């Protein structure tokens, strides 16, 4: 997947960063892969956004706490998974507003990308 996130500042030079996150880092959990401060070894982005990736199969499950005023956009890159009670397949997405948690489980070879965004955003 190629993902574009517009920066929250103007006039900065274009940048590019690439990093590999292994299966063990994503297996059964959400691994932070991009953030405004490069936390937990994630790539740095100029936006109030955190991006997570996870791999789920069988009984593996995880949840992400959602801070007030945040929007969650979960995209299924491959496989199948249940997100907050909704069965999703490859290419499907779930948008959450006003929910305290994103709950993921019941995966079938699922790879999920999760965006934690300010609720007033027009992305994605």
**Cα dist from 9 to 5, 6, 13, 43, 69, whole Å:** 12, 9, 10, 17, 21
Q: Residues 79, 42: contact at Cβ < 8 Å? A: no
DSSP state of 46: S
Q: Can you read off the two tokens belonging to residue 30?
A: 């959400």
Residue 121: which pLDDT band, with cuts at 50, 70 and 90? low
DSSP state of 10: S
pLDDT of residue 38: 94
Average pLDDT of the chain to the nearest whole number: 93
Q: Can you read off the two tokens belonging to residue 47?
A: 């936006």
Q: Taking the model in full, what pTM does it have?
A: 0.92
């Amino acid at each position: 997947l190629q993902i574009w996130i517009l920066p929250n500042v103007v006039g900065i030079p274009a940048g590019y960063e690439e990093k590999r996150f292994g299966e063990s880092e994503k297996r059964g959990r959400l691994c932070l892969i991009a953030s405004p401060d490069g936390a937990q070894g994630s790539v740095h982005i100029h936006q109030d956004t955190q991006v997570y990736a996870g791999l789920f199969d069988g009984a593996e499950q995880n949840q992400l706490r959602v801070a007030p005023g945040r929007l969650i956009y979960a995209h299924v890159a491959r496989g199948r998974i249940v997100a907050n009670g909704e069965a999703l397949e490859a290419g499907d997405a779930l948008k959450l507003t006003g929910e305290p948690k994103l709950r993921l489980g019941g995966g079938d070879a699922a790879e999920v990308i999760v965006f934690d965004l300010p609720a007033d955003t027009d992305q994605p």
